[in-house]
Every structure is written in structure tokens, then in C-alpha cells.
Amino acid sequence: MKKSIIAGIVGTIIMTIVMYVAPFMGIPKMSPPEMLAGMMNLPVFLGWAMHFMIGVAFALAYTHLFAPKAKFNNIYLKGAAFGLAAFVFAQIAMGILGEIFPMPPMEGSLMLMMLGSIMGHAIFGMAVAKTVGF
């Protein structure tokens, strides 16, 4: 469990770095902590706390639900596949949250934003898999 929590923190930090570097590659600015805080009318530091809690929850799901059932052994492939599953889950969750809370306006190309989000989640998954070690 401790390793999963650490993996969630590491994966979230790496994904956050990718989010901040993405605009230099032409991908629109993305900030899940600011988006979460804005949706729920909370201070940004609570958005950051939620962002890391979600990362830890996903890492626990990887360790206990996804990795034991994955049929392939390559740690990076397994992590990327999990990251894509996390992306799909996050899109569904954001759709539901968007019905409950007002969504902040999106800036930039939706296609590039989705590409950036997929990339960030895949990198998150690989970081979690590598940190957990399977």
C-alpha cells in the first residue's frame, strides 16, 4: 500500500510537469487542480489536494485491480494501457461532474487538449507502473 501511495504521488508529479511543459509543444494549457477548484468554487490549494488524492487513488487501482489482471509483462506497456484506461475513466467522471458543477471554459483546440490529456495519463500510468515495480 505504501508503494502505491508513493507511486501515485510520483506519477502525479510527473504528469503535472508534463502539463506545464505541454504548452511549449503547442498543446493548450491544462491544469486539473485549477479546473477542479474552479468547478467546485474552492481555493486552488484544495484543487491541488484533490489532484494528488485522485493520483493516489488511481495508483491504488493500478496496483490492486489492473496490474494483477493485465496479460502483458512489459511494465511500460502495462502502465501506458492503464493510463489510457484512467484517461477514459477521467473523461466519464468529468462528464458527470460537468452535469453537477459548472465547467470552466476551455481554451484552445479540443483535439490538441485531448491529445495532451491522453499523453499525460499514459505517462502517469508508466510512472506508476515503474514506481510500483510491476
**What pLDDT is attached to residue 103?**
79
Identify the three-state secondary structure at position 27: coil
**What pLDDT is attached to residue 78?**
97
Provide the grid cell at 25: 509543444
Please, are residues 123 and 83 in contact by the beta-carbon 8 Å criterion? Answer: yes
Using a CB cutoff of 8 Å and minimum separation of 24, what contacts does 97-102 make?
97/39, 98/39, 101/39, 101/40, 102/39
The tens-digit pLDDT sequence of the chain (134 residues) is 999 999 999 999 999 999 999 999 999 988 999 988 988 899 999 999 999 999 999 999 999 999 999 998 999 999 999 999 999 999 999 889 888 888 777 788 889 999 999 999 999 999 999 999 99
Residue 65, CA distances (Å) to 52, 61, 90 in order:
19, 5, 17
∠ CA 117-46-127, rounded to 5° = 40
**What pLDDT is attached to residue 109?**
87
Q: Which domain holds residue 48?
A: 2-132
∠ CA 133-14-9, rounded to 5° = 65
**What pLDDT is attached to residue 110?**
86
- Total domains in the fold of the chain: 1
Identify the three-state secondary structure at position 107: coil
**pTM, rounded to two decimals:** 0.92
**What pLDDT is attached to residue 6?**
98
Please, are residues 125 and 80 in contact by the beta-carbon 8 Å criterion? Answer: yes
